[in-house]
Amino acid sequence: MKRTPKPYEKIPPQALDIEAATLGALLLEADALENVLGIIDTPCFYLETHRKIFETIKAVSDKMPTDLLTVTRELKDLKLLDEVGGPGYLTQLTRKVASAAHIESHARIIAEMYYKRESLTKASEIISMCYEGQDVDLISQQWKLASDGLEDIFTVADSGSHISLVLKNTLLEIEQDCARLKEKQSPGIPCGFPSLDMSTGGWRDGDLSILAARPGVGKSSFALHFALRAAYDRRWVNIFSFEMRKEDLMRIKLATVSLVYRSKIRDGQLNESDWKQINVAAGNLENLPIIYSDAAGMTIEQVYAIVRNNHKHGRCDFVILDYLQLVKPGRKVAIREQEVSEVSRALKILALSLNIPVLALSQLNRGADGETPKLSQLRESGAIEQDADNVIFLHRPEDDVHKIRLTLAKHRRGQLGDLDIYSNNQFTRFSEDPGKFKQENNNT
């Protein structure tokens, strides 16, 4: 019977053939080094021999052009030539590659292997701390330091993009936006309000949007409206609810789709006709690409990990968090504003790193009661205003209980303005058309 090796008996992740090919390319072409220095450095190589050769290539490049002869001479002067296998091994490296054409791709593979080895090392350190009975706060801090250190590997690995590539990708995006507009679709994920889509282009990749209001105005209901509209467009929506259970959120959506009063669904006051409508609605909802998470108690790192995993498997195109001030930061900070600022910045980085839109609900402070909200009234942090690409306020004018004014208070890509949205509160339905729910509201 074949024995399965234990994790610590396995060979660490490595790519020796890729390391050899990369060093061979560096020995063949003097200018190749500048293409990899932003991606890898000496510690990234698995073999000590390869680390010494790479370090020597860097040292030579500071004084003269690098090639097989100059690197061999430098290793000899440093009395390292025999340690790395002699002139024969260096010559053998150059024979493993024809040119430096693929050196950046090879360097990224080396960086990935290094990332995996470092992950194993840091995880082993934390496992040891757990067995040694270390304090939970110290273990949590070590997780944070480990995570930051690993992220730095690929922050360095991005060596930037030439303007020609950026221009090419930008023109491609513009072409795609034009094609969607011809099909009467918004360039981004549609929000369900034509005027807002026209103004913003929908929820755009890489954007952090904030939907803010005082309690009771309808932030969560609007978020569910946006989620449902995105799902109808076949986009995967990840909803993190830090305040309401996912079953309670689903009751709201059942009311929207079934046209059975929210209060009846809430209290179980359903007759046979109601159940028929609910069953039809359930059939329409059950295959939509929406993932709910009861997120109470989650840290921003845990949210990030879930989103990253879902995105990797093609199950996350749009993230909604309800609401920002309830998300726990990765570390304890004495000042509350700093905690909220850390979460806000992390959400913006999440949107940028995965190139997806993120919508975070936010509370407003009491100063917003009875007036049009201002950016300065975002609760507990000015960083939210700074990090956000779009800030949308909701407030209820006094002239109509079924009207909610949506104010676009910040928009990096376009104009600001107001939009009146009309609602049926019992069904949690919204529309720009003031007459759409008139009969329903009268019946209510």
Mark whether 268 and 121 lie in a shared domain. no
Question: Which residues fall within 8 angstroms of residue 33, CB to CB, at 6 or more apart?
Answer: 26, 57, 58, 61, 66
DSSP 377: G
Could you write out the DSSP letters of every residue in 86-134? HHHHHHHHHTT-S-STTHHHHHHHHHHHHHHHHHHHHHHHHHHHHHTT-
Distance CA 394, CA 430 (A): 13
Domain boundary among 157, 175, 204: 157
Are 68 and 146 contained in the same domain? Answer: yes
354 plus 235 within the same structural domain: yes
Query: Of 141, 157, 173, which residue sits at a domain end?
Result: 157
Structural domain contains residue 48: yes
In a domain, 429, yes or no: yes
pLDDT at 286: 84
Residues 135 and 216 in one domain: no
**Single residue among 157, 180, 199 that ends a domain in this structure:** 157
397 and 313 inside one domain: yes
Q: Are 191 and 197 in contact (CB under 8 A)?
A: yes
Instruction: Determine the pLDDT at residue 1.
Output: 44
Specify whether 148 is located in the same domain as 203: no
- What is d(CA 265, CA 278) in angstroms, rounded to the nearest whole number? 9
Residue 261 has a pLDDT of: 85
- In a domain? residue 162: no
In the chain, the number of structural domains is 2
Instruction: For residue 56, tell me if it sits in a domain.
Output: yes
Domain-embedded: residue 316: yes
Tell me, yes or no, whether 22 and 136 share the same domain.
Answer: yes
**Residues of the chain under the 70 pLDDT cut:** 1-9, 98, 148, 151-162, 184-186, 330-334, 367-368, 370, 379-382, 399, 435-444
Q: What is the pLDDT of residue 334?
A: 60
CATH code for the domain in which residue 49 is found: 1.10.860.10
pLDDT in tens, 52-107: 999 999 999 888 888 899 999 999 999 999 999 999 999 999 887 867 778 888 88
Same domain, 119 and 211: no
Does some domain include residue 177? Answer: no
Shared domain for 115 and 221, answered yes or no, is no
Domain ranges, residue 53:
7-157
State residue 16's pLDDT score.
92
DSSP letter for each residue of 237-286: EEEEESSS-HHHHHHHHHHHHH---HHHHHHT---HHHHHHHHHHHHHHT
* Per-residue confidence (pLDDT) for residue 57, from 0 to 100: 93
Pair (116, 263) in one structural domain: no
Residue-level pLDDT at 285: 85
- How far apart are alpha carbons 272 and 108 in whole angstroms? 61
Quick one: 146 and 244 in the same domain?
Answer: no
In-domain check, residue 179: no
Contacts 24+ apart (CB under 8 A), 260-266: 261/426, 261/427, 261/444, 262/425, 262/426, 262/427, 262/428, 263/426
Residue 5's pLDDT is what? 47
User: φ, ψ for residue 34 (rounded to 5)?
Assistant: -65, -20
User: Is 183 part of a structural domain of the chain?
Assistant: no
pLDDT for position 372:
77
Residue partners of 256: CB distance under 8 A and separation at least 6: 224, 225, 228, 427, 428, 429
Q: Which CATH number do you get for residue 302? A: 3.40.50.300
- Residues 156 and 204: their CA atoms lie apart, in Å, by 26
Q: Are residues 273 and 334 in the same domain?
A: yes
